[in-house]
Amino acid sequence: MPEFRKQRFLGLHWKAFLWLSGLLLCLSAAFYTLSQYHLTEQFRAQRAAEVASYRKQIGGLFRGTSDRLVRLAGAIPSMGDLGDAIKSGNRERLSAVTAAARYASLGYELEVQRIELFLAGEKGEERVWRWTQTEAEDLPEPRLRGALAEVRREEAPVTLLACQPLCLLNAFVPVLAGDENVAVLSVGQSIADLVIEFRALTGADLAIVVPAGGNGGAHLPAWGTVVPALTESSRIMPLLEDLSGDVPDPAALNDGRLVEWRGASYEVHRVPLAEFIPAETGFVVLIADVSARLAAIRAAARQG
């Protein structure tokens, strides 16, 4: 074969080789991209289902705690002579009965922190008796008066959350004598068990975030909020501090956001507290470590 034809043949051979190599690289890249896209979409669908499950879990935990408090508040007047003393309207008799009351077991077994009794007075509802497991601070006066007025008006229980800094779920329940609403009994329980139970059920982290005014807890100045209750505070609080600096409006987390933080990947969602406790301000932050799952997606996409 003449030399120029030989060189031309070799040139065509290398061109074909390079073209096939480029085609294979393009196909490999396309397959990798499609594979990663498919796996990522699966991940997003799974996460959406998990977040929906988290919301149901939180709602169930709040409802369960609220229902137990309402039942407990309804049962307390039947303990001993308290109910008769309340219905009699005799302040001296009521004072004697409440002075002899012992409710420590409610604190130990049910995490009840506070029980209060309010009777109608000349200036509205008056607190006539109080039992506390700890020195929990009083509810802010506007919230207290609003809850008492609603119970009187609707003759139905009202539940509210207050953190000062101890987070208590408070149930206000009417005490009826015949058809007459003669008193309001309030029972407050710590939500610490609720937070712990959520972590145990889901493996995810949770933070209760409420407005700074009138509430206590670790501050997030960028959001004007405090965090009175959360799981794994040593890890989650620094994450929230950095996140609040990067995301000025927490509502931007409503649809979820992937956050890379200190070598790990977290998916963060914001859920308004009003979804679980009507008219309640503040929100819940749901945090899930998805590092291992994202690493598995990348590895699977590479392997094809």
Q: Flag the least confident range among 8-22, 103-117, 131-145, 280-294.
A: 8-22
Q: Flag the least confident range among 73-77, 194-198, 212-216, 262-266.
A: 212-216
Q: Does domain 37-63+193-303 have CATH number 1.10.3470?
A: no
Domain ranges of the chain: 37-63+193-303, 69-190
Contact status, residue 284 vs residue 204, Cβ threshold 8 Å: no
What is the mean predicted confidence (pLDDT) over 268-273? 97
Nearest CA among 196, 180, 175 for reference residue 70: 175
Give yes or no on whether 37-63+193-303 and 69-190 have one common fold. Answer: yes
Q: Extract the tokens encoding 95.
A: 């004072």
**CATH number, span 69-190:** 3.30.450.20
Phi, psi (degrees; rounded to nearest 5) at 165: -85, -10
Contact status, residue 144 vs residue 162, Cβ threshold 8 Å: no
pLDDT band at residue 19 using 50, 70 and 90 as cut-offs = low
Q: 52 or 100, which is more confident? A: 52
- Going across the sheet that includes 205-211, the strands are 218-220, 225-230, 205-211, 283-289, 264-272, 257-261
pLDDT band at residue 188 using 50, 70 and 90 as cut-offs = very high
User: pLDDT tens across 23-63, in order?
Assistant: 556 655 555 565 566 767 787 889 899 999 999 999 999 99
Please name the residue that has the structure tokens 């499950």. 53
